[in-house]
């Protein structure tokens, strides 16, 4: 069949999609999310069908091409393209197999990951794969195969060094910017730490968002390698690289479904670490109400999973189970967090002590994994002496320095004091509620928006004492955030 092109100038951000009129769909027996092969001259592309129920956007005889299709075909409006009905990819059959509770082979897992990477699966099909791995837990062997397939789906940073250190936090704790302290400590010790970090998805800031306040975080793999070989470390946004690309697409679906399949979580983290050639990896698992991992049983299961896969993949793994019952640090939001980090590295008395303690513990353990005795003492000395700050300066300059002056980092101008509703002791600060309020206030889109904590768990307070300051770039967003306090008040006081 032949249809006339109408370029829509809209991106789907995923699999190539075309729209046909419902009359043509009935005529050719095509259904929503069927696949078609579109040919124009010597160019071909597989795309998924969407259906227009009315003639206003796409008339009979037309085919609406989203940007991903238009760029490949290069057909102009009203030019004719040939359409052939295409089969579903073989990986759909393998996903159904997993849903039925059967195991998957190396070849089947590789095909699924290949089709995810190349946008050959619909959002529904990908969601079924995520759900299948959640309800039909992957075996140890399947988890290893999934990890390797994710690594093989993208590029790998090849460094001729040993050891290569790395760390990862499971997440769910607001702020917790230990990476921006740990990485320069490790590099100041003369060791290698190529750190890729994520942007915020549901939090007020990811490490990449906070680091971006100080320096550029978007670099390609070639530039990343040059920086690491020269400086010994980097702190960059992993999304700008083609490292384990299938993982990012799986994570987006997990976020939408609000589930974390343990096997996929382990494979996801390990794939990212292996793709930068890490040999010694520390995993931080915060546990607490409102954190990503809420019980010690979950934490111990994850710990076992990481240690198992580390042993099988010949990586040294250390797992720390830490307190996730409140945010780590005072600032929550890109600028507020970056200011905390600089105060800490510069030995300013305003630096948060809890962030310092946790960073030294993590850095110390990593140094010991690399064979350095008295790791925490060494980490503390590198921090106190200013060597860690000097290394952070080198990293920022190599990536494209913006500022290392905390006094230049100004929070958003509209503020509100969140006050204690009664006297007592703070028993809990909900990470989930803190994050929700900070995001409604505008973080991380407005880098100066967020929350600055004035009190922490265990502090005694009186009624109407200020617990934290809420910052926003607009009066309207601040108003919405304040309204949420009646439903999501983050402080539990007894």
Query: Strands, E, within 80-186: which ranges?
Result: 80-86, 165-169
| Residue limits of CATH 3.90.1170.30 in the chain | 411-493
pLDDT computed for residue 343 by the predictor: 98
CA 31/CA 442 separation, integer angstroms: 41
Interacting residues of 484 by C-beta distance below 8 A, sequence separation 6+: 436, 437, 440
What are 218-225's contacts with CB under 8 Å, separation 24+? 219/399, 221/155, 221/157, 224/157, 224/194, 225/157, 225/158, 225/159
pTM: 0.90
Domain 165-243+254-406 in this protein, CATH class: alpha beta
Domain with CATH 3.40.1030.10 in the chain: 165-243+254-406
pLDDT of residue 15: 85
CATH for 2-86 (2.40.40.20, 1.10.3980.10, 3.40.640.10, 3.40.50.720)? 2.40.40.20
Residues with Cβ within 8 Å of 237's Cβ and at least 6 positions away in sequence, in order, are: 196, 197, 198, 199, 208, 211, 212, 217, 218
Q: What is the mean pLDDT of each run of 10 residues along the chain (494 residues)?
A: 94 89 94 92 93 94 95 94 90 95 96 92 89 92 95 94 96 94 98 95 92 97 97 95 88 78 90 96 93 92 95 96 96 98 98 98 98 98 98 98 98 98 96 96 97 97 98 97 95 96
In the chain, CATH 2.40.40.20 sits at 2-86
Whether residue 24 lies in the annotated active site: no
Coil, helix or strand for 350? coil
Buried b (16+ CB within 10 A) or exposed e, 341-351: bbbbbeeeeeb
Q: Which whole-number Å values give the CA distances from 365 to 274, 301, 358, 383, 482, in the listed order?
A: 20, 21, 11, 15, 41
Please tell me the distance from the alpha carbon of residue 303 to that of residue 131, in angstroms, as a whole number.
22
The pLDDT assigned to 335 comes to 98
CB 448 within 8 A of CB 384: no
How many residues are given for the chain?
494
Q: Measured between alpha carbons, how far is 69 from 3 in angstroms, rounded to an integer?
A: 14
Provide the pLDDT for residue 292. 87
d(CA 264, CA 133): 7
Domain 411-493 classification at class level: alpha beta
Q: Which of 34, 166, 260, 340 is catalytic?
A: 260
Helix (H, G, I), strand (E, B) or coil at 50: strand
In terms of DSSP bridges, do strands 17-21 and 43-52 run parallel, antiparallel, or are they unpaired?
Answer: parallel
Question: Which position has the token pair 């797992």?
Answer: 319
């Amino acid at each position: 069949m032949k249809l006339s092109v109408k370029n829509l100038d809209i991106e789907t951000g995923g699999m190539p999609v075309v729209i046909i009129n419902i009359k043509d769909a009935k005529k050719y027996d095509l259904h929503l999310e069927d696949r078609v092969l579109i040919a124009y001259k010597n160019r071909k592309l597989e795309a998924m069908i969407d259906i227009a129920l009315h003639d206003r956007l796409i008339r009979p005889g037309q085919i609406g091409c989203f940007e991903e299709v238009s760029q490949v075909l290069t057909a102009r409006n009203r030019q004719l393209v040939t359409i052939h009905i295409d089969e579903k990819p073989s990986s759909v059959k393998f996903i159904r197999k997993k849903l039925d509770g059967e195991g998957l082979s190396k070849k089947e897992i590789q095909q699924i990951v290949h089709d995810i990477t190349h946008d050959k699966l619909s959002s529904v099909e990908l969601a079924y794969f995520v759900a299948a791995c959640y309800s039909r837990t992957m075996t140890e062997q399947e988890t290893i195969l999934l990890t390797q397939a994710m690594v093989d789906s993208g590029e790998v940073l090849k460094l001729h060094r040993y050891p290569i250190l790395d760390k990862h936090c499971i997440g769910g704790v607001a702020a917790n910017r230990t990476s921006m302290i740990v990485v320069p400590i490790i590099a100041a010790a003369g060791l290698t730490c190529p750190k890729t970090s994520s942007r915020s998805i549901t939090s007020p800031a990811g490490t990449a968002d906070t680091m971006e306040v100080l320096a550029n975080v978007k670099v390609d793999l070639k530039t990343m390698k040059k920086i690491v070989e020269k400086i010994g470390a980097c702190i960059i946004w992993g999304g700008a690289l083609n490292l384990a690309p299938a993982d990012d697409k799986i994570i987006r679906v997990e976020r939408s479904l609000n589930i974390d399949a343990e096997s996929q979580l382990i494979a996801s983290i390990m794939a990212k670490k292996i793709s930068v050639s890490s040999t010694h990896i520390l995993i931080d698992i915060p546990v607490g109400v409102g954190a990503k991992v809420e019980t010690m049983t979950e934490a111990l299961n994850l710990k076992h999973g990481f240690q198992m896969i580390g042993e099988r993949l010949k990586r040294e793994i250390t797992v720390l189970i830490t307190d996730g019952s409140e945010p780590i640090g005072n600032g929550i939001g890109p600028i507020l967090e970056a200011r905390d980090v600089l105060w800490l590295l510069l030995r300013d008395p305003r630096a948060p002590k809890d962030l310092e303690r946790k960073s030294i513990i993590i850095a110390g353990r990593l140094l010991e994994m690399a064979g350095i005795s008295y790791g925490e003492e060494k980490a503390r000395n590198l921090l106190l002496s200013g060597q860690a700050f000097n290394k952070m300066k080198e990293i920022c300059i190599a990536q494209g320095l913006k500022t290392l002056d905390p006094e230049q980092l100004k929070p958003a101008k509209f503020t509100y004091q969140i006050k204690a509703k009664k006297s007592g002791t703070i028993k809990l600060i909900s990470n989930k509620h803190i994050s929700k309020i900070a995001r409604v206030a505008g973080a991380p889109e407005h880098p100066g928006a967020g929350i600055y904590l004035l009190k922490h768990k265990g502090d005694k307070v009186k009624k109407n004492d200020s617990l934290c300051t809420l910052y926003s770039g607009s009066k309207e967003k601040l108003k919405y955030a304040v309204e949420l306090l009646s439903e999501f008040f983050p402080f539990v006081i007894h």
